Structure 1
Amino acid sequence: MSMSFSSVTDVLSAGFDTVIDVRAPSEFAEDHIPGAINLPVLDDAERARVGTIYTQQSPFLARKLGAALVARNAAAHIEGPLAEKEGGWRPLVYCWRGGQRSNSFAIILRQIGWRVEVLDGGYKTWRRLVIGMLHDTPLPHRLVLIDGNTGTAKTDLLHRVRALGGQVLDLEGLANHRGSIFGPMGGQPAQRGFESRLAEELSRLDPARPVLVEAESSRIGEVTLPARLWRAMCAAPRIDVTASRPARARYLAEAYADLTEDVSKMQARLDQLVPLQGHERVKTWREMAEEGAFAALAEALMGQHYDPRYEKSRARHAPDGIAEFDLGDLSVGARDEAAARIVSLLNAR
C-alpha cells in the first residue's frame, strides 16, 4: 500500500518507527529523507549491472536478475539490521519513484507481518516537497540576523540562545562548514542533502516566534542558500555583536584548535588566499603558522583580509540594526550574558 503526503512536515511527523531508503548507497549519500536508514535492495554495482543487461540484452533477463538480487539482499537485511524488530514494527519504505525496488522489498516485509507503507512517488515526491517548501513558497518565518566581524563568537551565541529556549537556524551546522576558508568540518552534504536538512529544520520552527540566524553570504562552502531564504535574510532586522580584535584573535585560536594542531592543513587553507592577497603576504602568514603564533596570525588575517571584506559586504547588505552587544573579552561569562539578552530581545518581538 502506498501513502501520499502533501508537505515536508507531513512526512517527518507521520510517526513511522523507521524510514527505509532502499536505493543504492550513492543515491542515499547525495540526499535522503532525514533520519532514514539505507538498506539497499541493489547496491551501486548491482544496479549498474541490471541496467546494462536491460538496455543491451533483454528487459526480461534484467528483471529476473534483479529479482534474484533483491531477494538475496532483502534476506540479508532481515537477518541483519531488522532481525530484532517486533511484530508491531511499522516502517515507511521508499526508492527513487515508488516503483519496483520499494514495492518488492515491502511485499517481503508484509509477508512477515510487519505493517509496511510505501512512499507514493518515492524520493521524487520528497524532493518535490522540499523544492516547494524552499523555492516555491514564501518563507513564513520571521528572521532576525546576528551579525559581526569574524571571531565574534556568533555561532557559539546561536548555540547558547538555543539552550535558553530561543529559536535558532544554524546554517553553518546544516552545511557542515564554518563559513570561511577555515570552515570545512569534514565532508559537506551535497546541495540536495543540505536542502533536505534545511527543510527539516525549518519544519520544526514556529513561524509565530522569531528565528535567530547568523548573517552569511549566499554560499556556505560548496552549498548555496535557497533564494527565498537569502532574500529574507537580507531584509531581516540585525543584532550586531562586537569585540576587540585581540579578543577575537584569542577566541579564534581556541575555536579553531583542529587547525592549530595541524599546521600543514592550516597552511593549505592559507594558500587559498593567494589570488586575493598575493604570495608575499600569504608567505608571511604561513611563517606565522609554522612558528605557532596563531593568535598573531588570526589578528593579521582579520586586519588584512576578513575585516575589510566584512565592511564591504555589510555596506551592500545592511539590514536595520535593532541592537548592539559588546562582548568584551569574549569570555564564557560575556557570551552567556549576551545570549540571555538576545533571548529577552527575541521574546519581546
Structure 2
Amino acid sequence: MQTQQSAAAQREEVTTFRAHQQGAGAAAAILPKADVTLHPFLTVASEQPTREQIVDPEVEMINPADWDVVCDVRTPDEFEEDRILGAVNTPVLSNEQRAQIGTIYKQTGQHEAKRLGAALISRNIADILLEHFQQHGKQLKVLVYCWRGGERSQSLAHVLSRVGWQVAIIKRGYMGYRNQVRRCMEVLGRFQYHVIGGATGSGKGKLLDCLRYQGGQVVDLEVAADHRGSILGDHPTRLQPPQKMFESKLLHQMRGFSVDRPVFIESESSLVGRRQVPAAMWKAMQAAAQVTELEVPLHSRVAWLRHNYSYFEDEHKDVLMRKLDALTKTSGKKVVSEWRKLAEQSKWDDFVAAMLHEHYDIVYARAQLKYLTPSSSQEKANQPANASNHSTAKTGDGESLDGCHQEKGVGSQELDDNDISQTASLSLTADHDAAEQHTSSADDATVEAAGALSHLFGGPRQKLMQQVNSKQAESTLRWHRAPVDDINDEIYSALAMKLLKEYDPTALQTL
C-alpha cells in the first residue's frame, strides 16, 4: 500500500509541476516566471544550459520549472525521504543494488565495486531511457542529480547529453540542494504574514484556497505537513512526510513570493503534527501585524468537520477510538467515556459538538489568552516595525532573500524526528484550533442534542471566552473578526476578495 501511495503521490506531484510549466491553474499563479527576479525564491537561471552544464546551488536558486525533466537518480528510499518537488525518480541503482555495491566496496575493494556498479548502472540506464525518454523530441532540457553530484548523476547525464539533449548536473547533488533549502528556511522571517485564525472546523484551509485562487500569496502548512493539526489530524493510512520533505514543500509553495506583499497563512502551533515550522517563520507569524479571525456558527463547523473527517465514521472508527483514549490524561476518563459512547452510537453531530466544546475550543482559548498576554520582553519582540502600514511595507532598497546564499551556516541544523518530538511548542492556536466567539440559536440546538453540555456556557468557560475577547481588543495586533453564516464557495470567495482588496490589491491585478 505504501508503494502504491508513493507512486500516486509522485504522479500528482509531477502533474502539478507540469501544470506550472504550462502556466495552468491557480497553482501556476504563485510560482515564479522565467526571467523574473524579485527575490531568491524567484531567482532563476535565464541562460540556456549547455551539455552537462553544472548548476551551483551556492550561486543560483534551483527551480524545477526551468527544466523539462528533473531526474533524481538516487534510490527510491532516498527519493522518498526528500527530493526536489517535481523530480522524477529514475534510479540508476535500486535500494538493494546500492547496498550490495556498498558491501562489496567495504569487504572486497573499490575496483570490484565499480566493476559491478558499472554493469548494473548501464543496464538500468537502458531501462530509464525506454521508460522515461522515448516520447521526447530533439529539444529537451534535463536536470540530473544524485546524492553528492558524483558517479550516479554523471552516468545518466552523459548518456542523455550524447543523445543531443541539453543536460545539467547539480553541483554537490542533493546535498547542495538541501543546503539551499536550509538557508532559505532561515530567512523566512523577512515575509509579512497575515494570519488566518478561527475555531476548529471554521474552514481556514478553504479560505486559504480561495485566497490562492484569486492571486494571493498563500502558505498552507497543513498541506505541506500532510496533517490537519490536531490530535485527530493525521490521516489513518498515510504517514507525515519527513522534516526535510516538509521544508522542501514549503519552499515549493513559496516560489515566486514577494517580500513586499503579505503572505496568508493559517494559525498553527510550532509543530504541525510532528513537523517543525521553521523558527524564522514561526517567530514572524507570532509578530504578525494582521490577524483575521473567522467566526462560524457551531452547526456549520460540525457539518464541515464531519465532511472532512468522514473516514472516522466508518472504516477507521477503531482508529478514532484509540485516539480518544489518548485524551484521557487531559480530559478525564468520564468525559472521554461520554465521547466514546456517542461515537459508538454513531451520534456524530453530538460527538463533534461535544469534542469542540469540551476540548478544542477550551484548549485553544487558553493558549490564545497566553499568546495575547506576552511578557514585557515578548511584547517588545512581537512589535512589527511595519505595524502601522502592513500591506505596503518595504524591506529596504533591493533587499531580498538572495541573501540566503551568503547566510549559510547561520543557526542552521538538521532536525530528525527525535529532536522534533522534544521541541517545545508555544502555541498560537494550541492544537491548531481557535476559540468560539459567538453562539447562534442553531448552535444552541446542536449543543443541546449533544447532551450534558449546558454547563460549558457558564462559569469558567464563559469567563475564559470573555478574557480572550477582552485581550483581543487590547492587543497591539490588528485583530479583525470575520463572521460568516456558513462555509461555502460563495461566502469564502467573497471574503477572500475582500481581504485581498484591503491588504493585497496587487494580487487582483494578476488575475
Show the counterpart of 2:116. 65
Separation of aligned partners in 2, 1:187 and 1:346: 36
1:119 CA drift (Å): 0.9
Separation of aligned partners in 2, 1:163 and 1:108: 41
Q: Which moved more, 1:115-124 or 1:240-249?
A: 240-249
1:338 CA drift (Å): 2.7
1:199 CA drift (Å): 1.1
RMSD: 2.0
CA contact 1:2–1:120 (8 Å) conserved in 2: no
Show the counterpart of 2:482. 325
Q: 1:278 aligns with which of 332, 335, 340?
A: 332
Give the letter for the 2:499 counterpart.
I
Q: Which moved more, 1:160-169 or 1:40-49?
A: 160-169
1:219 CA drift (Å): 0.6
The C-alpha deviation readout for 1:67-118, integer Å capped at 9, x for no partner, is: 1110010011112222222222221110001001111111122222222211
Runs of 4+, deviation exceeding 6 Å: none
Give the match's secondary structure for 2:56.
Answer: coil
1:339 and 2:393 aligned: no
Separation of aligned partners in 2, 1:204 and 1:287: 49
Separation of aligned partners in 1, 2:67 and 2:337: 56
Separation of aligned partners in 2, 1:20 and 1:37: 5
Alpha-carbon distance change, 325 to 267 in structure 1, aligned in 2, over 3 angstroms: same
Write the mapping of 1:181-192 to structure 2, written as runs, cut at 5 A: 181-185=231-235, 186-192=238-244
Alpha-carbon distance change, 14 to 163 in structure 1, aligned in 2, over 3 angstroms: closer
Give the letter for the 2:303 counterpart.
R
CA contact 1:166–1:346 (8 Å) conserved in 2: no
1:19 CA drift (Å): 0.5
Give the letter for the 2:338 counterpart.
T
1:230 and 2:282 aligned: yes
Superposition TM-score, scaled by structure 1 size: 0.93
Give the letter for the 1:160 counterpart.
C
CA contact 2:57–2:177 (8 Å) conserved in 1: no
Alpha-carbon distance change, 124 to 328 in structure 1, aligned in 2, over 3 angstroms: same
Aligned residues: 348
CA contact 1:9–1:203 (8 Å) conserved in 2: no
Show the counterpart of 2:189. 139
Show the counterpart of 2:263. 211
The C-alpha deviation readout for 1:292-332, integer Å capped at 9, x for no partner, is: 21111111111111111101211222471331111234455
Write the mapping of 1:111-122 to structure 2, written as runs, cut at 5 A: 111-122=162-173
Q: 1:17 aligns with which of 65, 68, 80?
A: 68
CA contact 1:8–1:199 (8 Å) conserved in 2: no
CA contact 1:247–1:330 (8 Å) conserved in 2: yes
1:140 CA drift (Å): 2.7
Show the counterpart of 2:125. 74
Give the match's secondary structure for 2:479.
Answer: strand
Write the mapping of 1:24-35 to structure 2, written as runs, cut at 5 A: 24-35=75-86
The percentage of counterpart residues that share the same residue type is 34
Q: 1:256 aligns with which of 280, 299, 309?
A: 309
CA contact 2:148–2:171 (8 Å) conserved in 1: yes
Show the counterpart of 1:110. 161
Separation of aligned partners in 2, 1:138 and 1:329: 34
Separation of aligned partners in 2, 1:337 and 1:274: 41
Give the letter for the 2:277 counterpart.
L
Show the counterpart of 2:87. 36
1:245 CA drift (Å): 2.9
CA contact 2:81–2:242 (8 Å) conserved in 1: yes
Alpha-carbon distance change, 119 to 9 in structure 1, aligned in 2, over 3 angstroms: closer
1:159 CA drift (Å): 0.9
1:13 CA drift (Å): 5.8
Give the match's secondary structure for 1:11.
Answer: coil
Separation of aligned partners in 1, 2:139 and 2:322: 53
Give the letter for the 2:291 counterpart.
R
CA contact 2:57–2:171 (8 Å) conserved in 1: no
Separation of aligned partners in 2, 1:167 and 1:88: 33
The C-alpha deviation readout for 1:234-257, integer Å capped at 9, x for no partner, is: 111211111233332232222322
1:242 and 2:295 aligned: yes
Give the match's secondary structure for 2:346.
Answer: coil
CA contact 1:93–1:116 (8 Å) conserved in 2: yes
CA contact 2:210–2:493 (8 Å) conserved in 1: yes
CA contact 2:58–2:176 (8 Å) conserved in 1: no
Give the match's secondary structure for 1:150.
Answer: coil
Q: Which runs of 5+ in 2 are unaligned?
A: 1-51, 373-474, 507-511
Superposition TM-score, scaled by structure 2 size: 0.65
1:62 CA drift (Å): 0.5
Q: 2:251 aligns with which of 199, 204, 207?
A: 199
Q: Which runs of 5+ in 1 are unaligned?
A: none
Give the letter for the 1:162 counterpart.
R
Give the letter for the 1:316 counterpart.
K
The C-alpha deviation readout for 1:165-210, integer Å capped at 9, x for no partner, is: 2221111111111111221243321100010111121222222211
Q: Which moved more, 1:228-237 or 1:339-348?
A: 339-348
Give the letter for the 1:41 counterpart.
V
CA contact 2:64–2:86 (8 Å) conserved in 1: no
